[in-house]
Structure 1
């Protein structure tokens, strides 16, 4: 039985938000709920609090598109710090002392070995060959225990924070490109995961460092760009590259620049910033919490949103249908279209100054129309509705 049409009581669409550092993806969803005064909001793919960049947020009927967008390929830019490890594989974790995993393989596939001083002898050529040989194409990846993956209904990071053993299985992912953009060698203070890279062993003049650091340690910072399949953890790539080189590694910076066809450079991207609030809780403890604040709200925020037609065109395959087809879909009937994957069916809108009988495709507004349903193949030459949307009264 086809899904029942959903009421069109609120506007629907997608927003691309440039997430700031220091807040969660859920914080951005809460900000959109407040900014649009609507409860039906979700996002397509979590970004860690440390990460910045493209977060696709859907509201209204467009939330039904998010499951399809989650599966899109993604592009990231990151900085990997080689020479140390953390519990979370990024700068938000705690430093781990000692050797890398017992099964780590030193050097690249052609036999280069890492010198006893760990980083001595590691060259950009060695790193690039290791990436090409072992971290490009289809690979098996074990996510970090501090991840959003659910184990028996609980998030892995919640279990890990409670001190419970978390064992995640390797998952197949595909790394389309993994490019080294820059390599910098130097030193950083021994106590901070995000300390600055300097060229001398002398302690940093940074007062935060000078108050606690007693030594400087050698590290290598790599700026990289990765295009990958859905489900890839860039933190795990940094960790695994460090393990393969025998020196350890973690991320100090992560920015998602693209989710499928949605890019952080798009003209309609919504920016946001972080505001901190300090208060005393019931236990008498002083607590500081961050919250995400959108730089646009209300009608201004809606002006940045993609319409439902523009949203489906960016999210998945589409097919233009007739008004009669739309009625049939909304009654759960099949329509005579030969498709091979989930597809959005919509009735295109024409510009007002064109006669309704004019077949000139240039008269069709690519961002307007009536999205009737998401359909899938029923049999050859027939499509059935999977998700049905109520008619848009504005069309």
Structure 2
């Protein structure tokens, strides 16, 4: 009987100019398996945390995509682009003197409007589907893309350095902690619109996806060096589940029921990782509303 390949997560620090698919392809080669996926795409321009699942852990990815994320970014005011970032073509520039006239207080106040539960129109070149096609594909074809505003939550937005206040070359460094589905490029666009000068993103670095941060991340080069040295940087699936979700250790009877994918009497608050007596990760369970039971969302054992 062939021994099962290890399952777990690889926390990658993606470099610039590399697509998320490029990262997945590289991890496939390193792990020796096709069963690799990622949670939450990063644009080629963006860097930072990309969570990659290997083998059974790919089934965790859909649940991890719903977790909170954190970013560091740089916003350039005075120029709007069709992609809302530096890779897009310029569609508007500020009137002469408009950027120079902005005060620090005005800029900080504009960014403050983006904090809390807001309605955000996704960027036109997003991966959102419109009539079965990705918005970015429609935009490339020259089609007019109309995306509806969606509720997102900006838990925290801190404006750090402001460079060029009083000049025509003004940039703001921001740190954002937000819900899944938030577009940082859209924040740049909307703040630029509020200030009446336009804006776009010139740098984006994801610093965290749920509990996984840059402190745990490795570059593709570091992953290759680790493998060459006989070391694994794979976070085992059990440890990954305990880090990302509330956890519960089952008794013998509960374990038996879970292994058969049955509902069990278990008081849980939201999605919970459940573990066998020996510490093996078995499944994700959620409460059944109005009952003292919990039901399986995903079972990871046969």
Q: TM-score normalized by structure 1?
A: 0.71
Structure 2 residue 67 is the aligned partner of structure 1 residue 138: no
Residue 91 of structure 1: SS of its match in structure 2? coil
For 1:175 and 1:244, locate their aligned partners in 2 and report how far apart those are by CA, in whole Å: 17
Residue 66 of structure 1 aligns with which residue? 61
Aligned counterpart in structure 1 of residue 268 of structure 2, from 327, 336, 339: 339
The alignment status of 1:45 with 2:25, answered yes or no, reads no
Map 1:202-241 → 2, pairs under 5 A: 218-241=168-191
CA shift for structure 1 position 297: 6.1
| Match runs of 1:103-142 below 5 Å | 117-132=97-112, 134-142=113-121
* 2:297 is aligned with 1:386: yes
SS in 1 for 2:264: coil
Q: CA deviation at 1:10?
A: 2.1
Work out whether 1:372 is the aligned partner of 2:286: no
Structure 1 unaligned spans of 5+: 1-6, 100-114, 188-198, 200-217, 274-292, 350-368
Q: CA deviation at 1:241?
A: 0.6
The CA distance in 2 between the partners of 1:348 and 1:88, in whole Å, is: 51
Distance 2:30 2:49 in 1: 18
* CA distance 1:169–1:34, change in 2 (3 Å): same
Aligned to 1:271: 219
Rounded Cα–Cα distance in structure 1 between residues aligned with 2:24 and 2:148: 30
RMSD: 2.3
Query: Offset at 1:298?
Result: 4.3
Determine the C-alpha separation between the residues in 2 that align with 1:180 and 1:13.
36
Residues 1-395 of structure 1: pairs in structure 2 closer than 5 A: 9-97=4-92, 117-132=97-112, 134-185=113-164, 218-266=168-216, 269-272=217-220, 294-296=223-225, 298=227, 303-349=232-278, 369-378=279-288, 380-390=291-301
How far the C-alpha of 1:22 sits from its partner, in A, is 0.3
Distance 1:348 1:299 in 2: 35
- d(CA) in 2 for partners of 1:340 and 1:299? 43
Structure 2 runs not aligned, ≥5 long = none
Q: Secondary structure at the match of 2:163?
A: strand
Give the CA deviation at 1:371: 1.1
Secondary structure of the 1:147 match is coil
CA distance in 2, matches of 1:319, 1:186: 52
**Counterpart Cα distance in 2 of 1:299 and 1:370:** 29
C-alpha distance in 2 between matches for 1:121 and 1:301: 58
Q: Judging changes above 3 Å, is the alpha-carbon distance between structure 1 residues 116 and 270 closer, same or farther for their aligned structure 2 residues?
A: closer
* d(CA) in 2 for partners of 1:92, 1:151: 22
* Matches of 1:319 and 1:377, distance apart in 2: 13
Contact 1:68-1:316 at 8 Å conserved across structures: no
C-alpha contact 1:35 1:301 (8 A) present in aligned 2: no
Secondary structure of 2:220's aligned partner = strand
For residues 123 and 250 of structure 1, what CA distance do their matches in structure 2 show?
Answer: 18
For the 8 Å contact 1:148–1:156, the answer to whether it is kept is yes
Indicate how the Cα distance of structure 1 residues 319 and 254 shifts in structure 2: closer, same or farther if over 3 A, else same: same
Q: What's the secondary structure of 1:256's corresponding residue?
A: strand
Q: Check whether the contact 1:321–1:347 (CA below 8 A) recurs between aligned residues.
A: yes
Conserved in 2, the CA contact under 8 Å of 1:374 and 1:387?
Answer: yes
Judged with a 3 Å threshold, the aligned counterparts in structure 2 of structure 1 residues 156 and 38 are, in CA distance, closer, same or farther, namely: same
Structure with the bigger percentage of helix = 2
Q: Deviation per CA, 1:34-69, whole angstroms, max 9, x where unpaired?
A: 110111111110111100000011111111111111
For residues 144 and 123 of structure 1, the distance between their equivalents in structure 2, rounded to whole angstroms, comes to 27
State how far apart, in whole Å, the 1-side matches of 2:230 and 2:205 are: 23
